[in-house]
Structure 1
Amino acid sequence: VWDTVVPTLHTDFTWYLTVYNVNRAPVIDSYEPDRYWNVNESQDGSVLFTVSASDQDDDTLSYTWYVNSQYVSGTGDSYLLEF
């Protein structure tokens, strides 16, 4: 804090800030399928993708699914890919 009085009077303060609650990123605990796989285009079938995740801050998790970089309308922690 400074003033305009002559002689100039001033006071210095040192502030210490401690942050106790920092948002931590969610953690993927497991997922399936757990490896790469190949599918013949003429094959009929499906693959179920699942993920198990947790948040140390107990925040609500949301999931977004993409197939070949395109958004697909899956919700929740699983997505069924049919071909």
Structure 2
Amino acid sequence: MPECRSKGFGAAVLRAIEAIAAEQGIARFHLLTTTASGFFEQQGYAVNQRGLAQPLIFQTEQFRELCPGSSCYMCKALPFDNG
């Protein structure tokens, strides 16, 4: 929905997902994108070389088959709350 772009909705949803993941003890998010690397960079994700992905990430179906080799591999460390 183009009318929803640049309104902060995507960033708000991503922050909520990251907060829930951090509460569950997830330390890092990994993603592949062909179109949204700029958005994710604005949200603190760093571009990484696909070949340097951890073995468990590299072995996923997304890495091996679903996402094209031209996809941008990005990751972000989530804040840890040992609360």
Q: Name the TM tier (shorter chain).
A: under 0.3
Answer with 1 or 2: which has the greater Rg.
Answer: 1
Specify which structure has the higher proportion of strand: 1
Q: Which has the higher contact order (CA 8 A, sep 6+)?
A: 2
Specify which structure has the higher proportion of helix: 2
What is the TM-score of this pair, normalised by structure 1?
0.23
